[in-house]
Amino acid sequence: MQDLKRMLQDINAEVALTRRYIKRDKLEDAVLAAMRKVPRHEFVGADMRRYAYDNGPLPIGHGQTISQPYIVALMTDLARPTRESRLLEVGTGSGYQTAILAELAAEVYSIEIVPPLAEIAAERLHRLGYKNVHLQTGDGYHGWPEHAPFDAILVTAAAPAVPPPLIEQLAPGGRLVIPVGEPSFGQVLRLLEKGTDGELETHDILPVAFVPLTGGH
């Protein structure tokens, strides 16, 4: 499929353009394989399907977007999911990032605060056969403590600061990937690594633009 091939080429080109920020020459082969496998056009409305493989965000309704493919791939790469990983995603949205993670991890727990989006994502993921995804409608700021700790946590909307409940629910040795900042003052994609002693190491990766995280913070 030419559109999919073009999307993957665009992702690799973006990696080259942002190399000085992300400090890597390429993304993991497993991540690119997941990007190749998951049909992005299944996660957008009929009116957006012609743009599904463009390397840019697209509206999905309710003021939300499906993220740029490069950003989805980069955040997945930063999280380092494995076949043994249990992951938490805050912000199911369209379900696309969820599906990418489900291709790589043992279990994915995903929370969406907008009920109509949660319902549509659940239908899509079920129809596409993802059995290792667990969905909840609610406020992701507080995480999903019943299933913690998580080996990695991805947040797909920007918070003014990293939510403390998510840090608490990150397993020792785990990685938290989150956009941080206010839209009017700039946002940065941040990686937090929790050591086996519980200490946090923080890395600011690159400037980004995300919709704001909503909820009880």
Number of domains present in the structure of the chain: 1
Q: Is residue 198 situated within a structural domain?
A: yes
pTM: 0.95
Using one digit for the tens of pLDDT, what is the confidence trace for 8-44? 999 999 999 999 999 999 999 999 999 999 999 999 9
Q: Residues 39-66: what's their mean pLDDT?
A: 96
Backbone angles phi, psi at 173, to 5 degrees: 85, 0
Residue-number span of the structural domain to which 150 is assigned: 2-208
User: Is 67 annotated as catalytic?
Assistant: yes
Q: Is residue 217 situated within a structural domain?
A: no
Q: Is residue 197 situated within a structural domain?
A: yes
Q: Is residue 87 situated within a structural domain?
A: yes
Task: Determine how many CB atoms are found less than 10 A away from the CB of residue 49.
Answer: 15
Q: Is residue 203 situated within a structural domain?
A: yes
- Here the CATH number for the domain that contains residue 149 is 3.40.50.150
Q: Given 67, 85, 94, 110, which residue is catalytic?
A: 67
Q: Is residue 215 situated within a structural domain?
A: no
Using one digit for the tens of pLDDT, what is the confidence trace for 140-151? 999 999 999 999
Q: Residue 90, exposed/middle/buried by CB under 10 A (0-12, 13-18, 19+)?
A: buried
